[in-house]
């Protein structure tokens, strides 16, 4: 899509203007609100399709658009990834059972701006090992966000996430990454959740992107199922993910998808 304002770096990363942050806040807030509102519905006996129906209706009610419906043939307002599903789980008739952990990922378009966020939920009671995975994944995202400021590199973000996760003896998924966004869903750069300090493009004020680490209890390898979407851990180990959309400010990071209810972390 053509964007007349702002400029582009040599790596093809758009530098947005100060006024553009407001658009991203509106889109990010709606996506985060929807994730807040779906929380009380997550319970054993509920299907992932029912959760998606709620999300689809809620996006319409807000007068917004789902970015995922019609995206490369995808038909749903969310991705719902249960247990060993790493990402891009397709909502459907699958019944949640006690102890299931799930990521719900929503992307909305508000006035042309994209808000993309996901977080973890539990149906019923959380096992100790799932709780640890969810906590480490959440904290890994926050360590990545702590590395966001002008002059840092994308490798610094990946390194902060990877070193933390691997110190907990868990693994970072390599097959999927975060992405630039703004008035488009997926733009440069690829935001890797692993890497070496000082490598990759340098962050500049006005860059908008997601950080969305996927962490596995077992090995990092994934495979995509025959539906061409659902990505699972090859070793069937549990996987978790959290995602925020952020912007680089003069002195750090602006998180567009903060939970208005303070419910981003699953132990609210």
The contact set with Co ion (CB under 5 A) reads 105, 116, 118, 210, 243
Burial of 166 (0-12, 13-18, 19+ CB in 10 A): middle
What is the rounded distance in angstroms from the CA atom of residue 194 to the CA atom of residue 121?
A: 24
Q: How many CA atoms lie within 13 A of 94 on its CB side?
A: 17
Q: Is 68 in the site for ligand MF3 (CB under 6 A)?
A: yes
Neighbouring CB atoms inside 10 A of 141's CB total: 24
Nearer to ligand MF3, 20 or 116 (CB): 116
Question: Interface mask (CB under 6 A) for ligand MF3, residues 69-108, using x and -?
Answer: --xx-x----x--------x----------------x-x-
> Distance between CA atoms of 170 and 149, rounded to whole angstroms?
27
137 binds, among ligand MF3, Co ion, none (CB under 5 to 8 A by kind): none
Minimum distance from residue 178 beta carbon to ligand MF3 (Å): 7
- For residue 100, the partner it binds in Co ion, ligand MF3, none, with Cβ less than 5 to 8 A by kind, is none
Tokens 């966000």 locate to 145
* Residue whose C-alpha is closest to residue 252's, from 122, 149, 127: 149
Nearest distance, CB of residue 180 and ligand MF3, angstroms: 11
Shortest separation between residue 224's beta carbon and ligand MF3, angstroms:
11
Q: How far is the CB of 47 from ligand MF3 (least distance, A)?
A: 18
Residue found by looking up tokens 């003896």 in the block: 169
161 touches 178 (CB < 8 A): no
What is the widest separation between alpha-carbon atoms in the chain?
51
Please return the burial class of 10, using the count of CB atoms within 10 Å of its CB with bins 0-12, 13-18 and 19+: exposed
Beta strands in 63-160 (DSSP E): 65-66, 79-82, 85-87, 101-110, 113-122
Asked whether position 245 contacts ligand MF3 by CB under 6 A, the answer is no
Instruction: Compute the least distance from the CB of residue 134 to ligand MF3, in Å.
Output: 18
Stretch that binds ligand MF3, among 5-13, 52-60, 66-74, 148-156 (CB under 6 A): 66-74
Q: At its nearest, how many Å lie between ligand MF3 and the CB of residue 198? A: 26
Residue whose CB is less far from ligand MF3, 118 or 233: 118
Which does residue 20 bind out of ligand MF3, Co ion, none, counting CB within 5 to 8 angstroms by kind? Answer: none
CA separation for the pair 145, 32 (Å, rounded): 17
Residues 116-135 that bind ligand MF3 (CB under 6 A): 116
For binding to ligand MF3 (CB under 6 A), which residues are involved? 68, 71-72, 74, 79, 88, 105, 107, 116, 210, 212, 229, 243
């Amino acid at each position: 899509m053509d964007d007349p304002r702002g400029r582009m770096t040599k790596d093809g990363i758009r530098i947005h203007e100060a006024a553009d942050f407001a658009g991203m806040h509106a889109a990010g807030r709606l996506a985060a609100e929807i994730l807040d509102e779906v929380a009380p519905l997550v319970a054993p006996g509920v299907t992932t399709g029912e959760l998606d129906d709620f999300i689809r209706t809620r996006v319409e009610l807000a007068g917004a658009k789902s970015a995922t419906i019609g995206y490369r043939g995808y038909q749903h307002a969310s991705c719902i990834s249960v247990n060993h599903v790493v990402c891009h789980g397709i909502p459907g008739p699958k019944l949640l059972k006690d102890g299931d952990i799930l990521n719900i990922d929503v992307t909305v378009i508000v006035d042309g701006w994209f808000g993309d966020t996901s977080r973890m939920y539990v149906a019923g009671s959380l096992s100790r090992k799932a709780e640890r995975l969810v906590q480490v994944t959440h904290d890994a995202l926050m360590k990545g966000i702590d590395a966001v400021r002008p002059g840092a590199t994308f490798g610094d973000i990946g390194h902060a996430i990877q070193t933390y996760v691997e110190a907990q003896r868990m693994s970072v998924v390599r097959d999927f990454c975060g992405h630039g966004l703004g008035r488009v869903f997926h733009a440069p750069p690829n935001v890797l959740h692993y890497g070496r300090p000082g490598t990759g493009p340098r962050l500049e004020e006005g860059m908008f992107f997601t950080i969305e680490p996927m962490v596995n209890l077992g090995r990092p390898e994934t495979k995509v199922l025959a539906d061409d979407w659902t990505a699972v851990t090859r070793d069937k180990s549990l996987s978790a993910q959290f995602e925020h959309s952020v912007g680089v400010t003069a002195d750090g990071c602006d998180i567009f998808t903060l939970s208005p209810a303070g419910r981003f972390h699953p132990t609210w």
